[in-house]
Every structure is written in structure tokens, then in C-alpha cells.
Structure 1
Amino acid sequence: MASMIGSSRLAGALALALVATGAMAQGHTLTKDDYARAERFLGNNTAPLVDHAIGRVTWLDDGHFWYVDHDAKGDHYRVMDVATGKTSDAFDQPRLAAALGKALARPVKADKLGIREYVVAADGRLDVQLNGKHYLCDLKPAQGECVVKKAGKEPGVLSPDKKTEAFIRDWNLWLRDVASGKETQLTTDGVENFGYATDNAGWKHTDNAILVWSPDSRQIATFQQDERKTGEMYLLKTQVGHSELLKWKGPLAGDKDVTMIERVVIDVPSKKVVRLKMPADQHRSTLCDDISCGPEGGWDDVKWAPDGKSLAFVSTSRYHKDEWFRIADPKTGAVRTVFEEHVPTYYESGNGQVNWFYLPESHEAIWFSERNDWGNLYLYDLQTGKLKHAITTGEGNVTEVLKVDPKTRTAWFRGVGRTPGVNPYYQQFFKVSLDGGKPVLLTPEAANHEITLSPDGHAFVDTYSTPTTPPVTVLRDSGDGHTLATVAKADISRLRAAGWVAPTPITVKGRDGKTDLYGMLFKPTHFDPHKKYPVIDYIYPGPQTGSVRGRNFLSARGDNQALAELGFIVVALDGMGTPWRSKSFHDTWYGNMGDNTLPDQVAGLKELGKRYAWIDLGRVGIWGHSGGGNASADAMFRYPDFFKVGWAESGNHDNRNYEDDWAEKYQGPLVVNKDGTTNYDDQANQNHADKLKGKLMLVHGTLDDNVPPSQTLLVADALIKANKDFDLLMIPNVHHGYGKEKGSYAMRRRWDYFVTHLAGNTPPKEYAITLPKD
């Protein structure tokens, strides 16, 4: 009898163990149709079903802008006249398609041109950018004609008068005349690893020139980048025959010698190089982990006076704790430090844009600071270096100052958290006097507002939406925000007809039990409230962004809904330590990057488990890419009894092996103690690998020059030494992003992994995700 009771208890224990590990005894086999249904919720399938959603607008001049209006019949290129509010065709699409087809020697569909950039050239031809090339198209002839626009092989930075572009060749700066193509060498002493205007942040290295033209196109502010003592990084390309070694300069956290810059101004007509009279500066910015933060390049922390007689710039210390506002004389190289700011953790000048401005006519500067725990604007006197007054005050952040008018002493800015009762992540648009006073709200809708100002600043296009409501695009007056014209209202009828459902916005309490955290929850479209669903936590911990992927309307957020369709609840939650909230919120785990918002993820999921009976907290998975890959492995090690299955893609598992700027900004200086331990030890995932209990897949691209594959191999090595079972997928010859084909393969393998190990089901054999056509 005793043996029978013991056997019964053992069987029960084994059954519980199987449930706890996700190995469900009564799983079922998914079919290709199940995966095909999930695939239909990927963005390349859902986005074309959204009609009249204006993704972006481009101003042609103060009175006209163009945009693409998509519907079931295809893409329609339209131009709106601001004065009348009327729209017309931007150009003859069939004729342009035919002309491009001849130039490309392949058919081009008129309703799917794929053009995202075009301008009208001085001679009236269309300058069209398509697949990385520029075409000059004359549509006046009956058939139309397009020719490839002549361009040098090196990417150039166009001067304000559009006559000249500056580019790098052999570590020196050159000029190219746009009309004739004639080239002129500006500098001669640039050498390898000490070149002019070179673009290398370690994690990013391109051929782009980093510089700022003066308004009159006669001077260039740039630098000579000193990488002579910077350490090198290496990768091997997979191929038949001898290996190809890829090498670049990559400073790491804790390195004695990191990349520095020597600031210079070049007088274009005389080719004279004036070196600013100051020590070499850190390769840093006030905003991101590169000196060039914007998607279109440029040098964000350098601004010319309108007359070109002075140059303002901000120097940032190595660890982002100190900022110095400086003014230089471009003729003599003399530099004056006007004022400075020290922050105990790290300084940032906003979200998405550098938010300081140089106003030499009134001897003032607009300065962004979080000194009162929120991102506000302050006005400084450039003659005394003293603070005059705060321009904005109180709670909520200024995120992006889009325009400053020194004559009317007005600034226009996007901001969050400044309107009571509105989601603190929704950006709204305001104007404010530089002399103080309450900001004027120009976009009253409780939604996220994307703003594009006209060149003269008198009008703006506002596209507003929420994650659950499709976008409305209107033209508004910048004075009081009143609507001048409706551009488009999105229609999601076709999207809904295809089975799409909106994600569910969620609010839970953070680790402290008090702070509200915001996120989204994705359920299967065939959701049954009487069932129990395993849950997958999609994570990106920050600190520079979060998991939710924006608060505007999107037809798909990655593969969150597709994963849910396979029988999961998927959750994305922005934990403490991510941006857009208060400075103290953002600083939650400064210097403790092993935190990764995981206490908030666990607390939030447990709260959701109590709130919803259909969430199975016995089957919790987690996945993420890059910082999310780091956090996913970290979760499996620090919370091994909570997270049962993890998928960690391209994780920066030890920030000592990542580029210096990002790691040192958020973890602080590397400190080595007398016993050899460091303040970076706890954040290193390999030091916690022996705690693994569940199923873990590590994934990395072998040519990742952002987060090198050695990061994942460090964790793999530690797991082997700890005698732990794990899975490893190294994807040959891909970078930090895996590309279309191999990225689709990784996605399918990820679906399979969670279906098998978290849901206890069997996936279809080698399902092929359909690749979108170019």
C-alpha cells in the first residue's frame, strides 16, 4: 500500500513538473494553416490594408506639401495647397512609371512606385530617389524620360545654397560641385585613424561625413577624429577558402584610450583650417551614444550664428555627467565656455532631438534640463552665463523643440505628460513664449501627435492616433492650432475584415506597488476566456527606449499579434528605467544594468495573472532582441522559477564588451576593486548562467558589428562550464538585423520554440514565412 501511495505521489509530482516546464502531456499539433493565419498579422500583410493613413508629409515650400495616400487601388501621390486646402496629383504616375521602367529595364507599377523621396529640380525635372539611386525624370515628353543622376561614389553633405556637397575621401574632406561634378580637396593632413569628419561610433561606422555648413555655405564646422589609440574589433566572414577578416575601431567600456575629436572650422574659399583652441573633446553628444543622433546624419550639438561669425557647441564629458555650452570664433579658433551643467547620473537633452538653441542676436541660449525632475526649457544670458528664467515649468517633459522664432520670441515643442488625464506617453504640440508664461496647447486631442512644420513655421501637419484608433491627418495654424483643412482620415475597414483586432492597453503597478506602468496586451483573435493561455513577455528594457514600440497607431507591432495567434497572450510593458517619464523614473536602475526592468516585468505579469483568470502564470516565456536579448537571458537566470522559456537574440550580455559610450552612460565608469571584482560584474549575464532551469535559446548574427557575437558566446561558454542544457543559433553573415530572408527564418524558429516548449504543442515542420516582394 505504501509503495502504491508513493507511486501515486511520484506520478503527481511528475505531472506537475511537466506542466511547470511547459511540456504539456496533452498538446496538439499545429498545422501550416495555423501558422499561415499567424503570418497574416505581420506588418507586411496588415499595413497595405490600412487606407488613407498618411505616414509622412514633405514640404515643397512654405505653401505646399506632398504625401502618399494609399487605398485599395494603390498609392496616390498628392500635393496640398495650404492657402486653399485643395489637393491635386503630385505628378503623372503612369507616365513616371513608364519612364522609370525604361530606365530600370523592368516594369514599374504606377500604383506602387515605391518612391519615398522626391523634389522638383531647378530645371523642372523630378529628382526621384528609388532603391538608393537618384533619377532625374522629365515628364513633359509624351513617353517621359528618366536618367540616373550623376553622383560621386562617396555620400555627400549638401551646402545650404545646394551648389556644393562635402564628402570624405582617403580620410580628408573634399568638395564636389553639384552642377559640373568637379572635385576639390579641402584638407590634406588627414590619415587613417585620424581623418576629417569620419563617422565611427564603434557600434556604427559609415562613409558619411559629419559636419555642419554655415548658413552662407562658406564655412564648415567639423572635426578630426583621433582613433589612433582606440582598440580594434574583429569578425570573420563565412565563405569557401581563406577567411575574410573584418576590422574596425571600437572603444569599449573601461578602455584607457577612447576615440577623441579635435574640433576645426574650414574656410571653404581659402581652404584654411582653423583648429579650435581647446583640448581634444570626447566623441559624445547630449542626446545619444554617437555624435550624430538623427536618422539623416548631421552633427546635432553644433549650431552656427545666422551671420556665420560665431559657432555654438556643447561638449559632453566621457560619462555624460557634465555639459559645457561653448562659443567659438571661427576666424581665430578662440573658445569661451559660457555655462555648464553637472548631473549625478547622466544628462540628456530631450527625447528624439537635441533641444538647445543658439540665439546670438539677443545674446541668449535656450537650454534643456531635467533639474526639477522633468524636462523643461531654460533661458540663459550668453554675456554673463547666468540663468535668466525658466521658459517652461512643472511636471511633464518637453521632448522635441521643432522651431524657435527669435523675432516673436516663441518656441514650438512636442511634449508628454503636460495635460492632466492624458496618457503620459502621448505627445502633444505646444507653443510658449521665451519670456515665460503658460504654454498654449495646439493639439487638444488625447492622442499621440506626429508634427511636421512648414518651413516658415506658420502651419503644421498633424497626424494623431492612438494604438487603438486609426490616424487622422489635418493641416493646422501654428498660431492657435485651429484646423485649416483635413488631409485624410484613415479607414481600417479592410484591416478589420481580415480579422485584425487592436491590442489592449494595460496599466499595472511597478515594483514599488505605487508607480503606474503602461503597456499593451495581445490576445488571439480566436480568444476563449474559459481557457488558460501561456504568456510571452516581449521585452526591451531601455534605458533609451522601451518595449511598447510607440504610442501611435500601427497595424502590427513586430510579431506580437502573430505570436498571440499561435495560442499565447503576449505582453509588452515599459518598466521603470525607461524614458518619457520623470528623470527619477528614468534613473531607477542607473549603475545597475542587470536590473533590465525585470522586477517590473514580474510584478506586472503577476498582477495581470490575478486580474485575468485566462493567464497561466505557470507558463511564462520571454523574448527580445539586442537589449531585449540581454534582458531575456537575464530573466532566465535571475527569475528561473518564474520564466520557463526564453529566446535571446543578439544580446549585449556584458556591457564591458559593448561600445564605451552607451555602456558608460548608463552603468557609469568601470571601477576595479582591490580584489579584482568590478562594478560591472553583476550586470554580466555569464556570471549568472549557472542559475538556468528552463529552456533557453541564444541567437546571434556572426557579422554583428553593433553587438559582437562574442557577447552571446560568453554566455554559451558559461552555460557549458555550468553543465547546463541550452540551445544556440548562430546566423552566418548577418549583422545586428538579420535581413529579410534570415530574419524570417529566425522568426519562424522563435514561433516553433515557444509552441514546443511553452505551449507543449507541435509546430508544423519547417514552415516557410512568405517574404514580401520589393
Structure 2
Amino acid sequence: MEHLDDLRSSGGSQRKPAIRPTGRGIATEQGNRTAGNYLRIGALVRVAHRDILSAMKTTLALTLTLSCAALAHAAEPTPNKAVDTSFLKKFAETRRFMLGRPQNPKIAPDGKTVLFLRAEADKPTLKLFEFDVATAQAKELLSPESLLRGGTENLTPEEKARRERMRLSAGGFADFHFDKDGKNVLLPLSGKLFVYERATGKTTQLKTGEGGSIVDPKWSPDGKKVAYVRGFDVFVCDLATNTETAVTKGGTAIKTHGLAEFVAQEEMGRFTGYWWAPDGKHIAYEEADHTGVETWFVADPFKPDTKPAEQFYPRPGKKNVSARLGVVSVDGGETVWLDWDHKTYEYLTAVRWDEFVPLTLQVQSRKQQKLLLLAADTKTGKTKKLFEEKDAAWINLTPETPKFNSALGGFVWLGADADGESEIQHRNADGVLNNVLVPAKRRPEAVVSVYSSRADTFVIYAGSTDPTQRHIYRHKTPSLLVNPESDKDTALTTEPGTHTAVFGKSGGPYVITSTTTSAMPKSFVFGRDSAKLGELPSVASEPEIKPDVTVLRIGEEPGYYAAIVRPRNFDPKKKYPVIVDVYGGPKHLHVVQAMRNWLVPQWLADQGFIVVAVDNRGTPGRGREWERSIYQKFGTVPLEDQVKGLNLLCAKFPELDKDRVGIVGWSFGGYMAANGVLRAPEVFKAAVAGAPVTDWEDYDTHYTERYMGLLPESRKQYDDASLLPLAKDLKRPLLLVHGTADDNVYYRHTLKLSNALFRAGRDFESLPLPGVTHMYTSDPVVMERLWAKTATFFKSHLGEPK
């Protein structure tokens, strides 16, 4: 599931987990509606989507019965002046002002250069650039246009779906890969593979076979071959002869080889399904057997002549993919299948195959309360348990670990202490805990890199004791091994904000990308001694709006982190209607010190509102008890905290009119928005719910069962969290927004709630977005107009400042 900030600020870069609507609006509710985009639902509104509904085997059959005259007659309660959408237009066209900023930086193996992707400020096509560490100068290396020789980029449906999973919205180069020495760069583009020779600037297209899209290319460890998945099998291309060889055979759409299944990509953060052996002679690959898994269909009612797209979509209590891991020679031959207790541990969550150590794999129980780290004998297929983690609620995956290091011995692991709190551990090669490197009190959240220099080994990690920030630290292992209570970690970032880092193998140079409440992301290059060497140049447009956001902690311990955004022409003598900008779900912090997160809320505030946000229990960064408080309580705990946080803000800031509060969110935030007006109409007087999950039985297994438990044993908890039984209680204005081509939170969710509301005789509004997926921000026009629609909706129902 995805959060609004991910989509609102992604700009084509690779993701993480729901979002909120964005867009320029319909100028007035009466003047610019169209039957294709907007429907006012009163006593009877029916929307024709029979293609989708029959494919989903649902009984809904809504028929369009409103005429243009009826649409014009369906005026909002209060007429509104047209909102100024010039900022939204710029925001949308620049992909949230992220076009033109460096993306996906990678350090060359020799440490002399940094390669990165960047688009123009007004064109969403990523090109390849090089930054010279010695001179701090950057230059363009390659453009997609030069490789396609004037042709257009064509993506197969499979590649489009993969990019959707990775939250990539820009075109051009989606990724690139250095070979072992960094002399050559592998670039996938438009279903083709190219090798760029850096010394000469020569580019060679690899000769791949016909049939099936080419995805997930990887260099062999020696740089002499390239592996990839074509169709449903793994292939290898030998660069010396430019010829292709099949590594696996017999792959089908039902039983794929080398591809990560849907929930692995969407929920586990695993986008690959095969791994090179360190010697380059073998490949480990996943066989994902979809037999018995439900097939769902996504039809586009806007294009009834187009065949519906099929997707295997496992739902709670239903059949999951059966995954197994095999090892095969790159020359082909028999596969050695690795053995583990598949019945107990049916999820394959992560695989690593590093030099000088056995292949390791992480497997997880379906309840996600047990995780095993296994070491495999790839000749016999036998596996050995290194250690197991357990949690009474759920285990958070850490696919970036284990990180093996020969100098340190064993590996570094982001695991849990006796109380279930996250800590960074040093474990021996046999899995036995050797020492705690970074204790839980530091709130580590990710291991970025582990490297050795001379006699020392360093662990680079991300985390913060303040969940509104994210900092990068360098931990020198001997210091803590001698005195675990010492406080000698070096902070590589200190400015309040959120920071990410990319390190080379030897620890330098490295790139840190930083954003604060007053600045958009900037990427700086540092030497091993942490001296700043230069900045990866940006050509992005800068937003003319500077958010007036206050981030604060409210309430008695443990309290809530909250944000308040006032209009730039704020009048302290007036009371303002309030909009709660909500996500509220797990795995995502909404209240963070990052300017890009508050641009649209600032625009919304400028329309005559005060926008607030609260991070409730269930969000990360506050410890196990806080995070696990929502286990099997999606419908109650997050909403209780949103209400408490709102009341605290209203008590502290008298300019907030607590009698005029709206709520808006997308995905889990859409669920929260609809839940708010249904369960707490005395608090929330209007809601815009984008792509809401309305019935948790219709979301995917790995996400839903992690937090809600299994069916049928958790039947009551699922029923309690569903919005459908609450439809009869709707008393407040509700606008439902959903992309009809959404294959994450299916359009079915909004249709089911619409049906329940209609049958209960409740008034509501529905805005279907034809052909739009869950990542609606890929369409600038939709993004622009949807936010303006949101503003006019709230103006109609909450009024102006008084």
C-alpha cells in the first residue's frame, strides 16, 4: 500500500508503503463539470462499468441516468469562486518540482565518478549523467533519444506494471548498472538492452531473442555476461559473442521463473526473482507457482475495445503463490531446489549470495509472526537455520540485511532486542549473536552500508530519535565492541530534515540527499573524510510557494507529532475551517520535516483553510508498543488518535474552528477519511476519500494479514474494520475518488461502498478517474484538477474563514 507523500514527491524515482489526491480543479462546481469526470450522487446515480464488474464477479451494475441538465442542476450547497490553479499546474507539470533533480546516484567502483539520472525541468525523460569527483563537474553521457535514434519509447504491459510497483513515473532510463570494474554501464530501455563503454562512448545493443518483454537485467560478477528475464524464463547473454542462452526453461504465466510475484514487489520490497552466484557460474531463481491464486481483471471502461488486463491477486484467506528457490548452472541443466518448511514459511522475502559465504534466504510464516534466516548448500539443496525471529503481532522485514563483512566476521543484521525494539546486531557466520552495535535507544531504521578501511569496519545506518527527521550515522564497530554504552557514532547529517545516503564499497566518496522544511532535495558528494566535494547539479524549477509549516509535539507522554499549515495571508483575528491531511497507516510517517511534503497542503491552506496532520499510533519510529497498537484495530485506534490529536491542536490554537473540520487522504488515508465521517460525524463535517480500502477482505494477503490476522479466525476483526456496515450511518458530505485502472486498491472498493451507500439511501459524490491507476500522479492533468476539486468541495461544505 502506498502513501500520498510517496506519490506526491516521487518524481520518477524508485519508491517504498498510500497517497492523497492532487490536482487543479474544476473552476466552479457548476461551470466546468463533465459527465465523464464528475457525478453528483443523490437519490440515484449509476455509473456504467459493467466490464470491470463482470470481471470482478461483482453484482454491482450502476447505469448512467443523469443528463447534462441534471448535472447542471446538481449544484453544491454554497457557490464558490474559481480557485487559482497556477501553482497546481506548475506542480503537476514538474512532477511535484522533482523533474530536473538528480536521481538514483551510484558510485563508480574506482570511486572517481558518480553516475546519476536526471530529466529536464519540463520533460519527464531521464538521461544519464556523470559527476567527476576530482573536478566537481558534471556532464551528460547518454540520452534515450540517442539510443532510440528518433524512435519513441515503448513499454510492454509487463514493464508498465513493474514501474507501477516501483513507483516510477518518468520515462527514459529507469535504471543503470556498472559492471565489476565500472568500465561499462548496462542500460535497459524500451524493451532493449544497451551496453555503454565509458572510455569510448560507444553503445552496443545486446542481441536478445524474440518474445516477451525483457526485465531486471544484471551483470555477471565478472562483467562478461548479462542475465535478464524474457517472457517467463531467465536468459544470459555472452558479451564476447553477443549470443543468448536460456538458463531456465518451461516458464509460463502460471509458473514464472526469475520474476518476483505481486506481493513481493508491492509489499516486501523485493523486485527481483533471481540472483547471480559470486563465481558467475550459477544463478539462483524463484519459481512462483500461481496455480489456484485468484485472477482479477482490470478493464478500462474508457476503452471498451481493449481487453482487460489480468492479474493474480491473492486476498486474505485465499490461496497464495507457492514460491520455491532453485539453483542452476548458467549453461543450463538440472535445477537443485532448496529445501525448507514451505508449509510453515510460505513467503520467500529476501535472498543474498555474497562472496565467500553461503547463499542466505529469509522465509516468513503466513501470519508474519515468525522469520527464519537460512544458509543453503547449493549443491545438495539442504538449508541450515541461522536464527529465527518472532513477534506476537508481526515482524517488519529488513531486506537490506544481512550484510556480510569478512573483516568484521559474520554479518550485520537489523533485528529486534528482547523487547522487540529494532537494533543493529553483529552476528557470527553461524547466526549466533556476537554483540549489539547500535542499540534500540538510537532508533535505527535501516543499514545503508558496511565497509572496512584499514583495521576498522564501519556501519552506515539511518535513523533518528525524532521521528519527524531521518539522519545518517557512521558507526565505527571497534568502539562499541569495547564499550557498548559509549556514544561515539558520527552524525553525517545534522541539519533538521530528512536525509538519505548512497555509499560505494570502500566508504568514499558517498552521496547524501537532503531536504528540510525550507528546501527541496539536494544531493551532495562527500569524501571519505566527510569533506564536501560538490553538488550533483539540479536544473529543477523551484516552487514559488514556501510552506509555512510548524512541526510540533502535542499532548502528554508519549504525545503525538503533528504539523499545522496556515495560509500565507493568515489573519489571527479569524477562525479558519480545518482540513485534516491524513494517512494514518503503518510503515509511513506523514509528519516529517521535508518541504516537498507540504507544498500542496500550503496551496490548500491558501484557499482559506488551516491544514493539520497527526501521526497516530501504528506509525513507525516510536517503538514496538506504539507501532503494534493497531494490530487488528484498523478501524478504531488510528481514528481515535486523529481525533485526540485534532482536539489538542484546536485547544492550543484558537484560530482552528473545531466545528468546521474536513478530512482528506488517499489509499490508507482514503480509508481513514471515509472512516472519519462514518464513525465520527460529530468531528468531521466533510471528507474526500481517494482510492480507499473499504473492505479489507479485498486487499492483498501480505499487507492485510500482517496487520489483521488470518481468515476465518479473525473474522470479527475484519468485519469491525470494514466500512460497508457503516454506510447506513453516513450523515456528512463524502466525495469518493478512484482510478478505474487501479490494480493496487481495486476500483471495486469504491464501487462496493457506493453500492452500500446508495442502497442505504445516503447522499454522496463519486469521481471516477478513467484509465488512472493507483499512482494517479503520473497524469499531470488529473493531479492538477483533483486538488482544485478537493478545495472547492471543502469550500462548499466548510465555508470561508470568519
Give the Cα–Cα distance (whole angstroms) in 2 for the partners of residues 699 and 76 of structure 1: 34
2:328 maps to a residue whose letter is I
Work out whether residues 127 and 140 of structure 2, in 8 Å CA contact, stay in contact via their aligned partners in 1: no
Match of 1:710 in 2: 748
Give the Cα–Cα distance (whole angstroms) in 2 for the partners of residues 723 and 69 of structure 1: 51
Q: Is 1:627 paired with 2:674?
A: no
Show CA shifts across 1:643-670 (max 9, x none): 1111111111221111100000111222
Listed as ranges, the matches of 1:733-772 within 5 Å are: 733-738=771-776, 739-740=778-779, 741-759=781-799
Which residue of 215, 219, 226 corresponds with 1:165? 226
Which residue of 680, 690, 700 corresponds with 2:728? 690
Work out whether residues 79 and 796 of structure 2, in 8 Å CA contact, stay in contact via their aligned partners in 1: no
- The 3 A distance-change label for structure 1 pair 432 and 735 is same
Which residue of 257, 261, 268 corresponds with 2:323? 261
- The 3 A distance-change label for structure 1 pair 46 and 547 is closer
Show CA shifts across 1:331-353 (max 9, x none): 11111112211111111144xx5
The Cα shift of 1:283 comes to 5.3
Give the Cα–Cα distance (whole angstroms) in 2 for the partners of residues 312 and 119 of structure 1: 23
Work out whether residues 500 and 514 of structure 2, in 8 Å CA contact, stay in contact via their aligned partners in 1: yes
Give the Cα–Cα distance (whole angstroms) in 1 for the partners of residues 386 and 739 of structure 2: 46
Q: Which moved more, 1:572-581 or 1:655-664?
A: 572-581
Which residue of 587, 604, 612 corresponds with 2:645? 604
Work out whether residues 640 and 691 of structure 1, in 8 Å CA contact, stay in contact via their aligned partners in 2: no
Match of 2:628 in 1: 587
Give the Cα–Cα distance (whole angstroms) in 2 for the partners of residues 123 and 547 of structure 1: 38
Q: Is 1:476 paired with 2:526?
A: yes
Listed as ranges, the matches of 1:168-567 within 5 Å are: 168-169=229-230, 171-178=232-239, 180-201=241-262, 210-238=273-301, 244-255=307-318, 257-280=319-342, 282=345, 284=347, 291=349, 301-307=350-356, 310-350=358-398, 354-358=400-404, 364-371=410-417, 372-383=419-430, 385-405=431-451, 408=455, 410-418=457-465, 425-433=469-477, 436=481, 437=484, 438=486, 439-443=488-492, 445-447=494-496, 448-469=498-519, 473-478=523-528, 482-487=530-535, 495=542, 498=544, 500-509=545-554, 513-548=556-591, 550-554=592-596, 557=598, 559-567=600-608
Match of 1:31 in 2: 82
- The 3 A distance-change label for structure 1 pair 574 and 202 is same
Give the Cα–Cα distance (whole angstroms) in 1 for the partners of residues 188 and 560 of structure 2: 42
Q: Which moved more, 1:165-174 or 1:601-610?
A: 165-174
CA-based RMSD of the aligned residues comes to 4.1
2:753 maps to a residue whose letter is V
Q: Which moved more, 1:441-450 or 1:61-70?
A: 61-70
Give the 3-state SS of the residue equivalent to 2:716 in structure 1: coil
Give the Cα–Cα distance (whole angstroms) in 2 for the partners of residues 712 and 589 of structure 1: 23
- The 3 A distance-change label for structure 1 pair 746 and 162 is farther
Give the 3-state SS of the residue equivalent to 1:609 in structure 2: helix
Work out whether residues 413 and 430 of structure 1, in 8 Å CA contact, stay in contact via their aligned partners in 2: yes
Give the Cα–Cα distance (whole angstroms) in 2 for the partners of residues 508 and 101 of structure 1: 52
Which residue of 692, 697, 702 corresponds with 1:656? 697
Choose 1 or 2 for highest CA Rg: 1
Give the 3-state SS of the residue equivalent to 1:155 in structure 2: strand
Show CA shifts across 1:289-308 (max 9, x none): xx4xxxxxxxxx21124146
Q: Which moved more, 1:214-223 or 1:58-67?
A: 58-67
TM norm structure 2? 0.76
The Cα shift of 1:725 comes to 0.8
2:717 maps to a residue whose letter is N
2:423 maps to a residue whose letter is N
1:698 maps to a residue whose letter is L
- The 3 A distance-change label for structure 1 pair 702 and 203 is farther
Give the 3-state SS of the residue equivalent to 1:391 in structure 2: strand
Give the Cα–Cα distance (whole angstroms) in 1 for the partners of residues 474 and 302 of structure 2: 55
Work out whether residues 299 and 741 of structure 2, in 8 Å CA contact, stay in contact via their aligned partners in 1: yes
Which residue of 574, 577, 600 corresponds with 2:615? 574
Show CA shifts across 1:268-310 (max 9, x none): 235331011334365536xxxxx4xxxxxxxxx21124146x2
Give the Cα–Cα distance (whole angstroms) in 1 for the partners of residues 611 and 415 of structure 2: 36
Give the Cα–Cα distance (whole angstroms) in 1 for the partners of residues 359 and 662 of structure 2: 52
Give the Cα–Cα distance (whole angstroms) in 1 for the partners of residues 755 and 276 of structure 2: 49
- The 3 A distance-change label for structure 1 pair 715 and 31 is closer
Show CA shifts across 1:129-158 (max 9, x none): 7788777789999xx998877666422431
Q: Which moved more, 1:336-345 or 1:658-667?
A: 336-345
Show CA shifts across 1:354-389 (max 9, x none): 332345787633332233453112233344x53222
The Cα shift of 1:678 comes to 2.5
Give the Cα–Cα distance (whole angstroms) in 1 for the partners of residues 514 and 298 of structure 2: 44
Work out whether residues 303 and 358 of structure 1, in 8 Å CA contact, stay in contact via their aligned partners in 2: no
Work out whether residues 252 and 660 of structure 1, in 8 Å CA contact, stay in contact via their aligned partners in 2: yes
Work out whether residues 85 and 788 of structure 2, in 8 Å CA contact, stay in contact via their aligned partners in 1: no
Give the Cα–Cα distance (whole angstroms) in 2 for the partners of residues 49 and 265 of structure 1: 41
Give the Cα–Cα distance (whole angstroms) in 2 for the partners of residues 698 and 473 of structure 1: 38
Give the 3-state SS of the residue equivalent to 1:578 in structure 2: coil
Give the Cα–Cα distance (whole angstroms) in 1 for the partners of residues 221 and 196 of structure 2: 23
Give the Cα–Cα distance (whole angstroms) in 1 for the partners of residues 428 and 285 of structure 2: 26
Work out whether residues 547 and 602 of structure 2, in 8 Å CA contact, stay in contact via their aligned partners in 1: no
Work out whether residues 625 and 648 of structure 1, in 8 Å CA contact, stay in contact via their aligned partners in 2: yes
Give the Cα–Cα distance (whole angstroms) in 2 for the partners of residues 330 and 119 of structure 1: 26
- The 3 A distance-change label for structure 1 pair 468 and 379 is same
Give the 3-state SS of the residue equivalent to 1:388 in structure 2: strand
Q: Give the total of aligned pairs.
A: 690
- The 3 A distance-change label for structure 1 pair 132 and 574 is farther
Match of 1:16 in 2: none
- The 3 A distance-change label for structure 1 pair 467 and 751 is same
Give the 3-state SS of the residue equivalent to 2:150 in structure 1: helix
- Extract unaligned runs of 5+ from structure 1: 1-22, 107-111, 286-290, 292-300, 762-774
The Cα shift of 1:46 comes to 7.2
- The 3 A distance-change label for structure 1 pair 364 and 611 is same
Match of 1:5 in 2: none
Work out whether residues 553 and 560 of structure 2, in 8 Å CA contact, stay in contact via their aligned partners in 1: yes
2:395 maps to a residue whose letter is Y
The Cα shift of 1:685 comes to 0.8
- The 3 A distance-change label for structure 1 pair 646 and 423 is closer
Q: Is 1:641 paired with 2:696?
A: no
Listed as ranges, the matches of 1:40-55 within 5 Å are: 44=94, 47=97
Q: Which moved more, 1:408-417 or 1:618-627?
A: 408-417
Show CA shifts across 1:646-701 (max 9, x none): 1111111221111100000111222448xxx5221111011222221110011222
Give the Cα–Cα distance (whole angstroms) in 2 for the partners of residues 338 and 118 of structure 1: 34
TM norm structure 1? 0.78
